[in-house]
């Protein structure tokens, strides 16, 4: 039942042993401060409670939880960065409260139920890296009925985008290189620039219309098999006339208290900390960490899947098709993206892999 | 005698098959325009002559030479980018003049002597990537007596640098992370940030005193065995009081006509295009491509070897020691850097590898 730890997993864990990646994540103030704010807003659910931090990294979220009054925090990470997390915990005299466990959530032992799962598991395009599976494992192994998961839900969006600057910098550029026509380079340039998904920051102005929800994840109910392959059909109506260069993907996550899901609501009716339903009646009340193009940039940026050639679309023209995101068979931390799109009577298919 | 093509060489050639790397080099205007200016300034030595372009990439330097009136240009590249170069040549109706040879200079055949060797062979820290060896091979196989090599010589420099911002961003940063003392991260942060040479752009203000010449390369006379290991002793006197954070390395190359070296002078006395000695009497006359911190930035930037801990130096304090750059036994395109330094009576050794 427990998935074996592959060479690919080892390489993945190893990549997180480098300090630079943690420095980058911690310096992402939108990310780190939203987590801290969420912990402070939900302090009443953390104070005196048992928390597990899935993929704790340097341990910063565990320390925030300890500062919020958690009784005990299990900080779990399979990467060697756990050794550092333990040093940080000791140096802050928090060894009594924070127990660093160096191993996979599948393998480590926690001898009690937990009230709170906190995790910063989101990858590019939300699902890249597949760390959500570890949150599910932690939930199914240790979460108390009525316990909370932070973030509690996540949504992956997509929208058609125009990005003439990017296209001209990398492709049109070859038409005139110091006066030389090097357009013979263009087919290979397109392949090199646009074969793989591109993680980059775009702006709201690049987006042609309202986004489509590719996948909504309720962290209380999501099952691992649902993540193996996600398919959605979309239909966009472009709000303007523009060359369509591809689709951008981004996500947001919400930090809600109890009663996020029906199962949980039921549990809460029995639990001591029930009666928080009010929180959910106003959906704007939940704290949101957004990586949308119109919001302040984060280290996740946006992920853009470019076409090899732009498609001219008119205002109000329909762009429709489907997208399938699936775990690579070769390495489950890679993601295959199968994109079909039809616009103005022409149909296209684009296959790409996020490695 | 001909060195075999290793897996490492294959990986190296493969890395140049990606368009992005050529786009970056071509968009480096300092690099590309200096080469073009050199070709135009030395047009009298190129017009009607046979040229070989070692590591031609997309073929842009070969086309510049054809535009300058070269009779024939052999454009050699072992990377698959040679296929693209050939397409570019055909599209520009230059197939009569430019012959693209897809292979190593050790392996391809050119059935005539050449008048001019042009190559953009310089790597980070000048010698990283070891492409100069290919220029030497081309010279020894094909260069006519009295022929010219562009660039004709190269100089690698080093100087002590102070860079408090870099140190504070990556190291001191951990002292206070959202109010948490994470200084337990600092030893690993130092290792991750400073174990390997760092390619980055510094400014003239980071440099503590005049540079030392690590190695001067005369492209007419340099031998392959001289590149296997380069050792120099240095002695600096700091012009200011500052924390010494490490040493920066950069290089420049010169584009001179004939008579750069005694051998060549002799050859030129017999050659038709002799009598250019005037050119060399004023050393400022030669066109220079510089990657120094005080000059406009290039894609080579500078290479900095940081110490794990800064050394406080006073004004006029001596910093002395030695540095050895040697080809890695594991992969001759990697470079080992052995650095010894003494300042204020304390001695240090730093070993690093540029991969």
Mean per-residue pLDDT of chain A: 91
**Structure tokens of A182?**
């090097």
Contact yes or no for B64/B135 (Cβ under 8 A):
no
Is B184–A33 a contact, with Cβ atoms under 8 angstroms apart?
A: no
- Find, among B218, B220, B200, the residue nearest to B146 by Cα: B220
β-bridge pairing A98-102 and A72-77: parallel
Q: Spot the catalytic one: A23, A112, A113, A129.
A: A129
Contact yes or no for B64/B83 (Cβ under 8 A):
no
- Find, among B177, B167, B175, B194, the residue nearest to A59 by Cα: B177
Tell me the β-bridge partners of A166.
none
Give the tens place of pLDDT for each residue, A65-108: 999 999 999 999 999 999 999 999 999 999 999 999 999 999 99
Residue A269 has a pLDDT of 40
> Which of the two residues, A15 and B80, has the higher pLDDT score?
B80
What's chain A's length in residues?
355
**Structure tokens of A305?**
């899947």
Residue A280 has a pLDDT of 37
Distance CA B54, CA B104 (A): 9
Nearest-Cα residue of chain B relative to residue A36:
B178
| Chains A & B: contacts with CB separation below 8 Å | 86
Helix-strand-coil percent breakdown of chain B, rounded to 5? Answer: 30, 35, 35
Is A188–B84 a contact, with Cβ atoms under 8 angstroms apart?
A: yes
Distance CA A79, CA A10 (A): 8
Give the tens place of pLDDT for each residue, A184-231: 999 999 999 999 999 999 999 999 999 999 999 999 999 999 999 999
For A336-349, what is the mean pLDDT? 94
Q: Residues of B with CB below 8 A from A180's CB?
A: 60, 63, 88, 92
For A327-336, what is the mean pLDDT? 88
For B53-75, what is the mean pLDDT? 98
Task: Check pLDDT > 70 for residue A273.
Answer: no
Give the tens place of pLDDT for each residue, B10-40: 877 777 778 999 999 999 999 999 999 999 9
Contact yes or no for B323/B340 (Cβ under 8 A):
yes
Task: Check pLDDT > 90 for residue A348.
Answer: yes
When scoring A15, A19, A92 by the number of chain B Cβ atoms within 10 A, the one with the most, hence best to mutate, is A19
Nearest-Cα residue of chain B relative to residue A84:
B185
State the burial class of residue A213 (Cβ atoms within 10 Å of its Cβ: 0-12, 13-18, 19+).
Answer: exposed
Task: Check pLDDT > 50 for residue B1.
Answer: yes
Residue A220 has a pLDDT of 97
Angle between helices A186-194 and B19-27 (to 10 degrees): 110
**Structure tokens of A73?**
């925090």
Contact yes or no for A82/A88 (Cβ under 8 A):
no
Residue A2 has a pLDDT of 64
Query: Where are the alpha helices (H) located in chain A, listed in sequence order?
Result: 7-15, 19-27, 29-41, 43-46, 60-67, 81-91, 132-142, 164-170, 186-194, 224-228, 262-270, 277-281
Residues 131-190 of chain B with CB under 8 A from chain A are 170, 173, 177-178, 180-185, 188-189
Distance CA A334, CA A56 (A): 22
Nearest-Cα residue of chain B relative to residue A92:
B181
When scoring A188, A189, A191, A306 by the number of chain B Cβ atoms within 10 A, the one with the most, hence best to mutate, is A188
Q: Residues of A with CB below 8 A from B189's CB?
A: 19, 23
β-bridge pairing B242-255 and B302-313: antiparallel
Q: Spot the catalytic one: A87, A96, A112, A120.
A: A120
Is B180–A63 a contact, with Cβ atoms under 8 angstroms apart?
A: yes
Tell me the β-bridge partners of B99.
B74
Is the preceding omega at residue B98 within 30 degrees of 0, hence cis? no
CA distances (Å), origin B283, targets A129, B140, B257: 57, 27, 12
What's chain B's length in residues?
355
Is the preceding omega at residue B151 within 30 degrees of 0, hence cis? yes
User: Residue A304: which pLDDT band, with cuts at 50, 70 and 90?
Assistant: very high
The Cβ-side half-sphere exposure at A270, using a 13 Å CA radius, reads: 9
β-bridge pairing A50-54 and A72-77: parallel
**Closest CA of chain B from A93, distance in Å:** 11
- Find, among B235, B233, B210, B237, the residue nearest to B317 by Cα: B237
Mean per-residue pLDDT of chain B: 91
| Rama region for B48: left / alpha / beta (φ>0; ψ in -120 to 50; rest) | left
For A240-266, what is the mean pLDDT? 82
Residue with tokens 């760390």: A131
DSSP secondary-structure letter at A296?
Answer: P
Distance CA B58, CA A173 (A): 14
Residue A339: helix, strand or coil by DSSP? Answer: strand
For B114-142, what is the mean pLDDT? 96
- Find, among B295, B294, B287, the residue nearest to B36 by Cα: B287
Residue B129 has a pLDDT of 83
Residue A3: helix, strand or coil by DSSP? Answer: coil
Residue B338 has a pLDDT of 97
Residue B176 has a pLDDT of 97
Task: Check pLDDT > 70 for residue A255.
Answer: yes
**Structure tokens of A4?**
């074996």
Q: Residues of A with CB below 8 A from B192's CB?
A: 18-20
Distance CA A124, CA A105 (A): 21
Residue A185: helix, strand or coil by DSSP? Answer: helix
**Closest CA of chain A from B24, distance in Å:** 10
Instruction: State the CB neighbour count (10 A cutoff) for residue A16.
Output: 19
Contact yes or no for A168/B68 (Cβ under 8 A):
no
Nearest-Cα residue of chain B relative to residue A191:
B19
Is B192–A33 a contact, with Cβ atoms under 8 angstroms apart?
A: no
Residues 85-104 of chain A with CB under 8 A from chain B are 87-88, 90-92
Residue A282: helix, strand or coil by DSSP? Answer: coil
Distance CA A243, CA A314 (A): 9
> Which of the two residues, A267 and B99, has the higher pLDDT score?
B99
Which own/partner contact pairs does B183-186 have at CB distance under 8 Å and 24+ positions apart? B183/A91, B184/A84, B184/A87, B184/A88, B184/A90, B184/A91, B185/A19, B185/A22, B185/A58, B185/A84, B185/A87, B185/A88
Q: What is the 3-state secondary structure (H, E, C) of A220-252?
A: CCCCHHHHHEEEEEEEEECCCCEEEEEEEEEEE
Residue A124 has a pLDDT of 95
Nearest-Cα residue of chain A relative to residue B188:
A19
When scoring B19, B87, B89 by the number of chain A Cβ atoms within 10 A, the one with the most, hence best to mutate, is B19
| Rama region for B33: left / alpha / beta (φ>0; ψ in -120 to 50; rest) | alpha
Task: Check pLDDT > 70 for residue B2.
Answer: no
């Amino acid at each position: 039942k427990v998935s074996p730890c592959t060479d690919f997993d080892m390489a993945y864990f190893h990549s997180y042993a480098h300090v630079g990646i943690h420095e980058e994540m911690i310096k992402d103030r939108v990310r780190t401060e939203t987590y801290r704010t969420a912990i402070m807003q939900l302090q009443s659910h953390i104070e005196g409670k048992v928390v597990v931090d899935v993929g704790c990294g340097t341990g910063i979220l565990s320390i925030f939880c300890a500062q919020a009054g958690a009784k005990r925090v299990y900080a779990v990470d399979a990467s060697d960065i756990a050794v550092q997390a333990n040093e940080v915990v000791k140096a802050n005299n928090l060894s009594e409260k924070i127990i660093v466990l160096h191993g996979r959530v599948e393998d480590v032992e926690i001898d009690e139920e937990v009230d709170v799962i906190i995790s910063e598991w989101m990858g590019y395009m939300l699902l890249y890296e597949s760390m959500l599976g570890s949150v599910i494992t932690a939930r199914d192994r240790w979460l108390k009925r009525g316990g909370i998961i932070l973030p509690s839900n996540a949504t992956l969006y997509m929208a058609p985008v125009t990005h003439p600057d990017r296209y001209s910098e990398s492709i049109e550029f070859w038409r005139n290189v110091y006066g030389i026509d090097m357009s013979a380079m263009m087919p290979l340039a397109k392949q090199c620039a646009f074969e793989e998904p591109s993680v980059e920051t775009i702006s709201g102005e690049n987006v042609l219309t309202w986004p489509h929800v590719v996948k909504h994840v309720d962290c209380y109910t999501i099952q691992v098999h649902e993540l193996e392959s996600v398919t959605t059909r979309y239909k966009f109506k472009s709000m303007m006339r523009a060359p369509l260069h591809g689709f951008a993907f981004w996500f947001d996550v919400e930090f809600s208290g109890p009663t996020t899901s029906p199962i949980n609501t039921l549990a809460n009716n029995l639990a001591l900390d029930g009666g928080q339903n009010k929180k959910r009646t106003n959906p704007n009340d939940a704290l949101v960490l957004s990586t949308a193009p119109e919001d302040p940039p984060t280290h996740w940026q946006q992920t853009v899947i470019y076409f090899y050639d732009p498609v001219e679309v008119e205002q109000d023209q329909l762009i429709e098709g489907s997208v399938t995101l699936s775990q690579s068979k070769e390495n489950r931390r890679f993601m295959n993206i199968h994109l079909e799109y039809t616009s103005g009577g022409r149909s296209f298919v684009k296959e790409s892999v996020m490695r």
